[in-house]
């Protein structure tokens, strides 16, 4: 399956990487980047591995990429569309707002 990143998901990934670069250095930022992108890459072979996001039926799924981050995505035709790199420490209502804007 083809992987497509939305602009918002790319921006969120870059924000995470910048944060770790500034706070912990290049090596930690690179490891975080690889951890998240490797998780997304696996979705091309196993697109339904993620759990359904509550309240959205089969529309959105999430997979844990790191204890603090989930990748939120949807499967359409032969594509995995990455919607968000979600910081799990945020209020759940904020994710709900982001997904409602996506619809």
- Best CA proximity match to 39, nearest among 50, 52, 25, 51: 50
Confidence of residue 103 (pLDDT cuts 50, 70, 90): low
> CA-CA distance, 77 to 20, in Å (whole number)?
35
**Mean pLDDT, range 57-82, rounded to an integer:** 96
**What is the CATH code of the structural domain delimited by 2-102?**
3.30.2310.20
Asked whether residue 37 carries a pLDDT value surpassing 80, the answer given is yes
What pTM value is reported for the model? Answer: 0.92
> What burial class does residue 71 get, using C-beta atoms within 10 Å of its C-beta: 0-12 exposed, 13-18 middle, 19+ buried?
buried
All structural domains of the chain with their residue ranges: 2-102
What pLDDT score was predicted for residue 97?
81
- Reported as a single tens digit per residue, the pLDDT across 69-80 is 999 999 999 999
Q: What does each C-alpha distance from 10 to 44, 57, 58, 70 come to in angstroms?
A: 17, 25, 23, 14
Tell me, what DSSP letter sits at residue 78? T
């Amino acid at each position: 399956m083809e992987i497509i990143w939305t602009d918002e998901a790319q921006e969120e990934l870059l924000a995470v990487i910048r944060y770790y670069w500034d706070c912990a250095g290049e090596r930690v930022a690179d490891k975080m980047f690889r951890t998240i992108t490797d998780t997304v890459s696996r979705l091309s072979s196993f697109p339904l591995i993620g759990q359904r996001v509550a309240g959205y039926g089969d529309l959105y799924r999430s997979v844990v990429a790191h204890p603090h981050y989930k990748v939120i995505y949807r499967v359409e035709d032969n594509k995995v569309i990455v919607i968000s790199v979600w910081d799990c420490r945020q209020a759940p209502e904020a994710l709900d707002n982001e997904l409602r804007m996506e619809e």
